[in-house]
Amino acid sequence: MLSNLAVRDIETLVHPYTNLATHRETGPLVLESGKGVFVTDSNGKEYIEGMAGLWCTSLGYSNQELVDTATEQMKKLPFTHIFGGRSHDPAIELAEKLKEIAPVPISKVFYGASGSDANDTQVKIVWYMNNALGRPQKKKIISRLKGYHGVTVASASLTGLPNNHIDFDLPLPGFLHTSSAHHYRFAEAGESEQDYSSRLAAELEEMILREGPDTVAAFIAEPVMGAGGAITPPEGYFEKINAVLAKYDILFIADEVITGFGRTGNMFGTTTYGMNADTISLAKQITSAYFPLSAVMMNDTVYQALVDQSRKIGTFGHGNTYAGHPVGCAIAIKTLEIYKRDKIVEHVRKVEPTFLRCLTALADHPLVGEARGVGLIGGVELVSNKASKAPFEAKKGVGAKSVLFAQEEGLITRAMGDRVAFCPPLIITEAEIEEMFSRYKRALDKTLNWVKAEGLLAA
Ligand SMILES: Cc1ncc(COP(=O)(O)O)c(C=O)c1O
């Protein structure tokens, strides 16, 4: 029996990333409040938020300092834009702080309001820059199958997931996808991680040569693939990719929308994996998700090209109303201050062994083929046969079923096909990590009973 709120939801909302047909029967999970790593629904049931919302509420759900900072900024200057050379203190101070902690030399910062628009900006900057440099044919962008970069027309074109393309008439021409980097699923029998990485780098090089290096402008990658299934890269992968990109003068865009700000046990995933990034997209944990804010950080070569071109054209004709919103920037400055003061990166490193021990212990379960992670992000892959790695038929929704059972057990997590992700708030304690995984273990046991009852296990 659906609650009154649920009925009103169904009659009024189109939900993002939702099966709009089944939603009419199942209705929403309505959350009402949050404290620390816990959220509470409209029936008073409490859950561990094992996904930090959408990989974003790093400081949890009840950070009073962020609330106070937002309130103060709202009272002082609730809005001003930064078009036409207008500015304000929080926008300037945040850019300075981001430059200070950037993992590679960064010259300037451009603000937006979402990860998608940051990656959209990346695409436009690459095109604009290459026009400025007098190479108008160097425009193609390579991303990876299973990579996720957002939902605008350009960022969804970068994304390598079928659901973001089918019937949206995407990707646009000029967006190419090379293989994802998932050793468990795609390595050949007996192939080491290093050899698999070499093969992927060679494949990327072949693609560049086939297309013509003077037509390929940029390559974009997440340090850890998020929406593709919480997939950590194989050993040596980015080192080998760096070399290919450098050889053909191809810009490296790091999409740190999930991994930025401590998630992988360093301030940035770029550092964790040694990525030679030229530009970096940031969002989500930049404000602990207390306000929509994103940023593109760029090196000086990119910046100088933008300056030259705007000298020629008369303007840099890009940007949105809420770019550098003073409330978002003030919250981000406070968030960065808390990360530093509370040693959040050190905390992630301290609890990482517990997280990885509990995560990898799931691999003993009959349904789990792979369990792997880094820092405080990881994924498990559910399979119908562990020895052959045979997947379940996608439409049986085994991953999604395990997430529903987890919800019963008081845990929110997320299935991407039959991969299930764990990405809790960075403030999580060791005891809460243990509790999170024991709830998921119970959910897996229920899933196994269901899978057996449905006859879904491969022989
Ligand atoms: C790596 C990555 N890039 C970009 C995006 C898009 O960000 P947004 O949803 O804020 O547009 C996401 C969202 O999850 C993401 O994970």
Predicted confidence (pLDDT) per residue in 110-157, tens digit: 999 999 999 999 999 999 999 999 999 999 999 999 999 999 999 999
Nearest to 331 by CA among 298, 376, 285, 265: 285
User: What pLDDT does residue 1 have?
Assistant: 80
Report how far residue 145's alpha carbon sits from residue 151's, in angstroms, rounded to the nearest whole number: 15
For residue 423 and ligand 1, the question of a CB distance below 6 A is answered with no
Question: What is the CA(254)–ligand 1 centre distance, in A?
Answer: 12
307 Cβ contact partners less than 8 Å away, ≥ 6 residues apart: none
pLDDT in tens, 375-404: 999 999 999 999 999 999 999 999 999 999
222 lines ligand 1 (CB under 6 A): yes
Instruction: Name the residue of 15, 157, 253, 258 whose CB sits within 8 Å of the most ligand 1 atoms, as the mutation to test its pocket.
Output: 258
Residue 55 Cα: closest atom of ligand 1: 14
CA of 294 to the centre of ligand 1 (A): 10
Categorise residue 252: left if φ over 0, alpha if ψ from -120 to 50, beta otherwise.
beta
pLDDT of residue 356 exceeding 90:
yes
> Do the Cβ atoms of 118 and 295 come closer than 8 Å?
yes
214 CB-near residues (< 8 Å, 6+ apart): 135, 137, 138
Q: Which atom of ligand 1 is nearest to the CA of 54?
A: 14
| Predicted confidence band of residue 106 (pLDDT cuts 50, 70, 90) | very high
Contact 309, 128 (CB under 8 A): yes
Per-residue confidence at 159, pLDDT binned at 50, 70, 90? very high
Helix (H) or strand (E) holding 94: helix 89-101
Residue 346 has pLDDT above 90, yes or no: yes
DSSP letter at 11 equals: H
Contact 279, 254 (CB under 8 A): yes
Q: Residue 107: pLDDT above 80? A: yes
Q: Is residue 166 scored above 80 in pLDDT?
A: yes
Cβ–ligand 1 distance for 258 under 6 Å, the answer: yes
Smallest CA separation from ligand 1 atom 3, residue: 149
Whether 277 lines ligand 1, by a CB cut-off of 6 Å, is: no
Residue closest by Cα to atom 9 of ligand 1:
115
Distance CA 137, CA 218 (A): 12
When pLDDT is averaged across residues 217-226 and rounded to a whole number, the result is 98
pLDDT of residue 2: 86
User: What is the arrangement of strands in the sheet containing 38-41, beginning at the earlier edge strand?
Assistant: 31-35, 38-41, 46-49, 411-412
What does each C-alpha distance from 216 to 65, 139, 166, 174, 433 come to in angstroms? 45, 6, 25, 9, 43
Evaluate: CB of 270 within 6 angstroms of ligand 1: no
Q: What is the CA radius of gyration of the chain?
A: 22
Measured in Å, residue 311 CA sits from the centre of ligand 1 at 32
Q: What pLDDT score does 405 carry?
A: 98
- Return mean pLDDT, the chain: 97
Pocket test for ligand 1, best of 116, 155, 291 (most atoms within 8 A of CB): 116
Longest distance between any two alpha carbons in the chain, whole Å: 69
Tell whether ligand 1 has an atom less than 6 A from the beta carbon of residue 114: yes
The alpha carbon of 150 and the centre of ligand 1 are apart by a number of angstroms equal to 5
Q: Specify burial of residue 9 (Cβ count, 10 A radius: 0-12, 13-18, 19+).
A: middle
- Residue pLDDT, tens place only, 281-299: 999 999 999 999 999 999 9
Whether the CB of 159 sits within 6 Å of ligand 1: no
User: Domains of the chain, with CATH numbers?
Assistant: 4-62+343-454 (3.90.1150.10), 66-341 (3.40.640.10)
148 close to ligand 1 (CB < 6 Angstrom): yes
Asked whether 116 lines ligand 1 (CB < 6 A), one says: yes
% of the chain surpassing 90 pLDDT: 98
Task: Judge if the beta carbon of residue 149 lies within 6 A of ligand 1.
Answer: yes
Tokens of 403: 């997430």
Binning pLDDT at 50, 70 and 90, where does residue 52 land? very high
pLDDT at 143: 98
Q: Does pLDDT of 459 surpass 80?
A: no
pLDDT reported for residue 92: 98
What is the distance between the alpha carbons of residues 451 and 90, in angstroms, rounded to a whole number?
A: 53
Query: In terms of pLDDT, which residue wins out, 146 or 458?
Result: 146
CA of 117 to the centre of ligand 1 (A): 9
Strand boundaries in 159-215, DSSP class E: 175-178
The answer, yes or no, to whether residue 185 has pLDDT greater than 90, is yes
Is any ligand 1 atom within 6 A of the Cβ of residue 115? yes
Q: Is the pLDDT of residue 458 over 80?
A: no
Q: What average pLDDT does range 192-201 have in this prediction?
A: 98
> Closest Cα partner for 337 from 34, 94, 57, 74?
94
Does ligand 1 lie within 6 Å of residue 223's CB atom? Answer: no
Q: What's the gap in Å between 385 CA and the centre of ligand 1? A: 32
Distance 403 CA to ligand 1 centre (A): 21
Q: Give this prediction's pTM.
A: 0.98
Question: What is the per-residue pLDDT across 201-220, written as a single tens digit (0 to 9) for each?
Answer: 999 999 999 999 999 999 99
Mean pLDDT value of segment 224-251: 98
* CB contact at 8 A, 259 and 345: no
Share of the chain above pLDDT 70, in %: 100
d(CA 391, CA 367): 10
State whether the beta carbon of 254 lies less than 6 angstroms from ligand 1: no
